[in-house]
Structure 1
Amino acid sequence: MSGLLAFLSDYTIQNVALGAAILGVISGVLGCFAVLRQQSLLGDTLSHAALPGICLGFIFAGTRELSAILAGALLTGILAALFMLALSRRTRLKTDAALGISLSVFFAIGIVLLTYIQGTGNAAQGGLDTFLFGQAAAILRSDIYVMGTITLIGLGLVLAFWKEFKLVTFDPGFAGSLGMPVTVVETALTLLIALAVVVGLQMVGVVLMAAMVIAPAAAARQWVRSLEAMVILSALMGIIAGVSGALVSALATGLATGPLVVLAASALVLVSIFLAPERGLLWSGLRRWRAERHLRGRQVLATMYELAAAHDNPAYPAEQSMLDAYHGLGTGKVLHRLQGRGLVRRTTHMPQEGIHWELTEDGRHEARRSLAALGKDES
């Protein structure tokens, strides 16, 4: 117990865990709007567009001062977002093409600037390339304050303009008909996502930040139906992914924090995709399997009812082999399930011809319902 307390009281571990939790909150909340607006590539674009800003912030400050680097990253992220919006609205390019162009142009500029800085011989530039993949262990308490302030500003803006953001996300056409400045609201949402990217640069880096914007929101989307619940759950999943990744990194020597945080978030996505009650693949497959079983039973009941009607005998014994031939499948299991429900029963009729089944009174009633349902399906 004392070892655990000592571990959790470690200054570096506390900083990393707090930073990861802050990143999880803002990326989880703002990522919901990117996912619902079908702009999953937006996080990737803005994170890569932050690289030239990192370099410009370093050139301006002359050292790796976090506030200057984050300000530069925010500036180029905003420019990339505006560039993307201009391309998608002023040209015939679709949003995904505009995102791809913006990502490529700004990331290329960032690589050129990074190469230039490395060639200047400035000793202070050592480790600047760690912003590509993050360096969580280097986070200081002062950096936590900067990240927390940015997060509070972003969350405050979301709360202040919640109705506008929600309406534009789900129905921009209707929002425009109400006189709402849709373009301004969409631009504001895009710039807020740039804020989330800036918060995560030191934690997970330029390359992996896109996953933190998308993964918690994509996981939360599987479990809930309303935006309010999705935002809350996405923030919680972002915290879980961030803190768990940070703690595993601290326990396992030599493993980078950023990739572990992203892997934890990806694990939440996979679990949600498979196990979410309504949208999960497991439950969807189970519902489909049950529906198929029920449909086969209805088909067999309908066939037996029609045979009985054709022979003018409500208790007409249908031979199982004939049912097999008609339906093209083994009906034995289906008939035994129907027998368990009290809808059919085995009967003795010309034993040399095989097993025979007849409808019970409940079975005839269910068969009439099945025929009506099948008739509706056919229509």
Structure 2
Amino acid sequence: MSLFDYFDQVFSDYTLRTITLGTAVLGAACGMLGSFAVLRKQSLLGDAISHAALPGIALAFLITGTKDTNLLLMGALISGLIGTFWIRGIIKKTHLKTDTALGLILSLFFGFGMLLLTFIQKQPNANQAGLDKYLFGQAATLVESDVTLMIFVTLMCALVLLLFWKEFKILLFDADFTKTLGFNTRFIDILITFFIVLAIVLGLQTVGVVLMSALLLAPAAAARQWTNRLSSMILLAALFGAFSGVFGTAISASQNNLSTGPVIVLVAAVFVLISFVFSPGRGLLFRELRFRQNRRDLQLKKTLQLMHSIAKTHDDISHPHAIRILNNFQGFTKRSLQKMEEKQWITLQQHHWSLTEKGYFAAENMFNETTHDESTN
């Protein structure tokens, strides 16, 4: 199946439509909530929560004896919340840093989860087969009820964001100021964390424990490169996440032996790469272009100042001077002379140059600004 065939069949085929809609909604929810994790500098939180959810899945199976998706995800949610509050407790009650607490909970819960999975696999009950799909995800198992739950949770997240928008925004950028305004910062913080945990748990079935943090952070990291506004960042992150889900599913379905979860994460990584290179404000390409432009402007101004100092030795600023007296000057290039002539700072006559009135005043202004800066320092 080619990509064109996939998009042609996506609206008529139940399985393709369900998986595509589910991954798109999941990507949008992760993009929205991942923005808060990125801005709060808690990028490892998603990784820790997703790994902390694994023992909850295994325990839910051991207790119930069934592979009911809702029960397994409920166990993952409880386990993820326990891991989250343990992280908060370690940070507040001890002298350990945030990254240390995240690493401890991640390794502890994931190790315990793998131990339980190993134990389950050795049981004589055939129902445990396929339980390890939560490690790497299996989008093909999505059904309409799963997608409905994702849509409901995503809409609920959007509603909560609208209701507590002011509180979330203030808390993100100045927690101490939020306290002075009388807001309950602990409640707001717990609310954000709860929805992040909820989004991660919903994505375990599709992307898996190992890759879930990437889907949470990649769209937000990409969106951060394009804007400085929180609202714009959340919207862009949701779009990047949704497109990652759609195109990742399309590529996976059109090729043989490609898992959907990893492909979605790779597509999200492509969005990050493109954003890092081509975004106008922070992109590496435009940063390099601005650097070169600034360097050319600096060379231009240094050459003009040298010309000004030479021209001041004559009563007539339009007195012609040979170009060769500039050859030993580091900022001089033939291109810089052409640019200065375009700006009408100088006139060129064969191998001679002379300052214009406009160039003289431009040089005087630069000299005055330099003198002022040196005096203030």
Structure 1 length normalisation: TM-score?
0.92
Kept in 1, the 8 Å contact 2:137–2:205? The answer is yes
Q: Where do 1:87-166 residues align within 5 Å?
A: 87-166=90-169
Kept in 1, the 8 Å contact 2:207–2:260? The answer is yes
Q: Deviations over 1:192-248 (max 9, x none)?
A: 110110111111111111011111111111112211121112111111111111111
Match of 2:170 among 167, 171, 188: 167
Which 10-residue stretch deviates more, 279-288 or 313-322? 313-322
Corresponding letter in the other structure for 1:338: M
**SS of the counterpart of 1:202?**
coil
How far apart, in 1, do the equivalents of 2:10 and 2:168 lie?
A: 41
How far apart, in 2, do the equivalents of 1:6 and 1:313 lie?
A: 79
Match of 1:258 among 258, 261, 267: 261
Corresponding letter in the other structure for 2:232: A
Offset of residue 312 of structure 1? 4.3
Corresponding letter in the other structure for 1:366: A
Kept in 1, the 8 Å contact 2:300–2:331? The answer is no
Q: Where do 1:178-327 residues align within 5 Å?
A: 178-325=181-328, 327=329
**Larger helix percent:** 1
**SS of the counterpart of 2:347?**
strand
Quickly say closer, same or farther: Cα 1:30–1:312, change in 2 above 3 A: same
Quickly say closer, same or farther: Cα 1:58–1:153, change in 2 above 3 A: farther
Quickly say closer, same or farther: Cα 1:188–1:134, change in 2 above 3 A: same
How far apart, in 1, do the equivalents of 2:277 and 2:256 lie?
A: 31
Counterpart of 1:332 in structure 2 is 334
Corresponding letter in the other structure for 1:290: Q
Which 10-residue stretch deviates more, 369-378 or 63-72? 369-378
Counterpart of 1:23 in structure 2 is 26
Pair 1:366 & 2:357 matched: no
Unaligned runs of 5+ in 2: none
Kept in 2, the 8 Å contact 1:320–1:332? The answer is no
Match of 1:13 among 5, 12, 16: 16
**SS of the counterpart of 2:48?**
helix
How far apart, in 1, do the equivalents of 2:255 and 2:270 lie?
A: 18
How far apart, in 2, do the equivalents of 1:4 and 1:225 lie?
A: 34
Q: Deviations over 1:277-299 (max 9, x none)?
A: 22222222212211111111111
How far apart, in 2, do the equivalents of 1:166 and 1:311 lie?
A: 62
Q: Deviations over 1:151-186 (max 9, x none)?
A: 333333333322222111111010011122223322
Kept in 2, the 8 Å contact 1:151–1:199? The answer is no
- Percent identity between the aligned chains? 43
How far apart, in 2, do the equivalents of 1:283 and 1:148 lie?
A: 38
Counterpart of 1:357 in structure 2 is 353
Offset of residue 339 of structure 1? 1.7
Pair 1:58 & 2:54 matched: no
**SS of the counterpart of 1:105?**
helix
Kept in 1, the 8 Å contact 2:40–2:172? The answer is yes
Offset of residue 90 of structure 1? 1.4
**SS of the counterpart of 2:348?**
strand
Quickly say closer, same or farther: Cα 1:318–1:104, change in 2 above 3 A: farther
How far apart, in 1, do the equivalents of 2:152 and 2:342 lie?
A: 65
Quickly say closer, same or farther: Cα 1:59–1:157, change in 2 above 3 A: farther
**SS of the counterpart of 1:116?**
helix
**SS of the counterpart of 2:211?**
helix
Q: Deviations over 1:107-142 (max 9, x none)?
A: 111111111111113211111111111000111112
Quickly say closer, same or farther: Cα 1:266–1:321, change in 2 above 3 A: same
